[in-house]
Amino acid sequence: MAEKQTNDWSSLCLAFTEHAPLPMATVEGATHIVRYANPAFCSLMSKPAEQLIGRPLSELLPEKDQCVSLLDRVFRTGKPESHTEQEQSKPHPIFWSYTMWPVLADERLVGVIIQVTETAKFHGKTVAMNEALMLGAVRQHELVEAGERLNARLEQEITERKQAEKELQKAKAALADEAVLLERLVAERTAELTSTNKQLEAFVYSIAHDLRAPLRAMQGFSETLVNDEGPALSEAGQDYVKRIRDSARYMDALLSDLLAFASITQQRIELAPTNLQPIVEAVLSRLEKDIAEKHALVETTGPWPVVMAHAPTLSQVLFNLLSNALKFVRPGVQPQIRVRAEEALVQPGFVRVWVEDNGIGIAPEHQEQIFRLFLRLHRDAYEGTGVGLAIVQKGVERMGGSLGVESSTERGSRFWFDLRKAEQH
């Protein structure tokens, strides 16, 4: 078994040396008789194995070869040696490396194994490797440079980004400042506007009141003149004084209406749940004199829902609509007026209040214009300032409602306005 193993080992070693790319040979005895040469050795010597084996190595090598003296030394000392030698005969230097180690049999030196290596190939390879290394170094340098460039660019980019961020923050701060400025500007403008509005309001009032003072005098004294001194005046004189009085009266009415319009346009309007019934009743009682004088028939039909309204404005709206209904009737016709409220059909959540009359009506082509300020369709036949319906429209709009009229010259007018119904709690 052990024998077999040894045989196996020997054949394995032989197979190694046979196939090794390095030239190897074994020499025996003091004269270095070649006992074995592997194919690589044969090819190095450019001779077949038969011409090498059995011959002393010194015969096979060129003269001056130090190899033989080295062999002698190994043979003598029994220690492995290695040696490198340069061959100058070739255009490119060839280096030969020898490694020799003793072969012992029963602890007695019997031969030497020689292994030769031509290092030129290594040299070339080393050169190539060096070149490759250099190239690599260059490449590495390039890479380092590229890396550095990249880093520099990244740093630049980071710097730029930081700069951009700084700019952005600056812009944001500027924007915030701008917003604050704008807000302040808006506040200032609003204050200015409010102040202007207040001034305008004060102006309107003071004009109206200042105009009214002399007007009151004209009106009062012309009336006194007509009443107290009338008989002393000629007929023409009486006529003149009456004209002064009537004009003053008209101007007074105009100022009153303008003031009412200004106040309905400018006053603060807060909507609250408002019961329609007492308002309608109060308005009718204010018109009592008129109603009695014209023998008018006024019908109010409940039930009266609670609406979201501003009571004084709602009163003004109803007053103007009702006084119109009393005013615009043909001579000799008894005014018949109906006031009623219903759920608005077209606008859910709204209440529609109707003021219906049997008056002169409004021709379809005029129905659009009647809410315009100072518009008077019947300048000569009916007194008026042309402000009443403008007040109605403004008042309803300011209470968040809408209004309209259905009218024909045959049947009279039906004015309506919608107001939001108050939530029932």
Partner 1 sequence: MTEQQTILLVDDSENDLVLMKTAFRKADFTTPLQIVHNGEEAIAYLSGQGQYSNRIQFPLPAVILLDLNMPMKNGFDVLDWLRSKPALHKRIPTIVLTASARPEDVERAFDLGANSYLVKPGALEDLIAMIRCLRDWLRINHFPPLNQYVKK
**Which residues bind to partner 1, rule: CB under 8 A?**
205, 209, 212-217, 219-221, 223-224, 248-249, 252-253, 256, 259, 263, 267
Is the CB of 178 or the CB of 210 nearer to partner 1? 210
Rounded least distance, CB 236 to partner 1, Å: 23
Please say whether the beta carbons of 398 and 264 come within 8 A.
yes
Residue with smaller CB distance to partner 1, 265 or 277: 265
Distances from the Cα of 160 to the Cα of 149, 151, 203, 220, 307, angstroms: 16, 14, 61, 86, 66
- Which among 395, 393, 394 is positioned nearest to 405, based on CA atoms? 393
Dihedral sign for Cα 320, 325, 331, 334, please.
Answer: negative
Supply the minimum distance, in Å, between the C-beta of residue 198 and partner 1: 10
Nearest to partner 1 of 247, 347 (CB atom): 247
Shortest distance, CB of residue 210 to partner 1, whole angstroms?
A: 8
Q: Could you tell me the smallest distance in angstroms from the CB atom of residue 319 to partner 1?
A: 15
Q: Tokens 């009229």 sit at which residue?
A: 405
Q: How far is the CB of 221 from partner 1 (least distance, A)?
A: 7
Work out the number of other CB atoms within 10 angstroms of the CB of residue 313: 22
Using DSSP, state whether 54 is helix, strand or coil: coil
Considering the complex, state which of residue 100 and residue 260 has its C-beta at the smaller distance from partner 1.
260
| Least distance in angstroms from the C-beta of 425 to partner 1 | 29
In whole angstroms, give the CA distance from residue 191 to residue 73: 119
**Residue 219 vs 413, nearer CB to partner 1:** 219
Number of alpha carbons in the 13 Å side-chain half-sphere of residue 6: 3
Say how far apart CA 43 and CA 147 lie, in whole Å: 51
Closer by beta carbon to partner 1, 298 or else 391: 391
Local structure of residue 405 (DSSP, 8 states):
E
Tell me how far, at minimum, the Cβ of 202 lies from partner 1, in Å: 9
- Minimal distance in Å, beta carbon 205 to partner 1? 6
Looking at the Cβ atoms of 220 and 302, the one nearer to partner 1 is 220
Angle, CA 210 vertex, CA 208 and CA 211 arms, to 5°: 65
Closest CB to partner 1 among residues 104, 217: 217
Tell which residue, 400, 402, 391, 403, has the closest CA to residue 264. Answer: 391
Residues 6+ apart with CB under 8 A from 358: 329, 333, 335, 336, 337, 411, 412
